[in-house]
A = this chain, B = another copy of it.
Amino acid sequence: MASHEIETLTQALSRLPGLGPRSARRAVLHLLKKRETAFDPLLAALASVRERLATCGICGNVDTSDPCAICADPRRDARALCVVEEVSDLWALDRARLFPGRFHVLGGRLSALEGIRPEDLAIDSLIRRIAAGGIDEVVLAMNATLEGQTTAHFIAERIEGYPVRVTQLAHGLPVGGELDYLDEGTLAQALRARRPVA
């Protein structure tokens, strides 16, 4: 039916997260119909990003410049450093403009199961940033998973001795979370971390 090229395009799109074969086909049809308003802008945007794509040599963020826009922004608070597992975590935290400081992307989490060791993560470069000085607080923003927390503890130990405050994200009930829909682990954590009513 569709030509080899169109089939290849449909397959490339269908491998994106959130798109299946069906929606990829609809997307391709949309592109073919709206050549000037959809196809050309998408193609130009992809080519433009691809051309400039770079991994930030300071923090590990992916951006179209190195250093990335965050590391290059003088309005950012250079004294606060937020450590995350993945670039997607950095984006999630930065999207809501929740954190005014800078970031450090580990590129994963320690995992015995997957054979991911400390030297596979950007931990040495994190220590070098801290050792260089000028940082007051390191926020360990790992996922609330066993591996994420193992990673956070490992890093906290490596940081001991440097004159920085080490904090981590609070764990507990998600906003809007109803008790009887939450898993036991979250409930236990919320109970352990209970605070006096103000």
State the A residues within 8 Å of B (CB): 1-6, 8-9, 11-13, 15-19, 23, 25-27, 29-33, 35, 38-43, 45-50, 52-53, 62-65, 68-70, 87-88, 91, 94-95, 97
Contacts and interface: CB of A to CB of B under 8 A. Distances in A.
Nearest to A15: B38
A42 B12 contact: yes
A87 B32 contact: yes
A120 to B, nearest CB: 16
Integer count of this chain's copies in the complex: 2
- Interface SS majority for chain A: helix
Given A6-B63, A43-B46, 5 more contacts: A2-B63, A3-B65, A5-B49, A18-B18, A18-B26
Given A46-B46, A87-B32, A69 B2 contact: yes
Contacts of A52: 3, 5
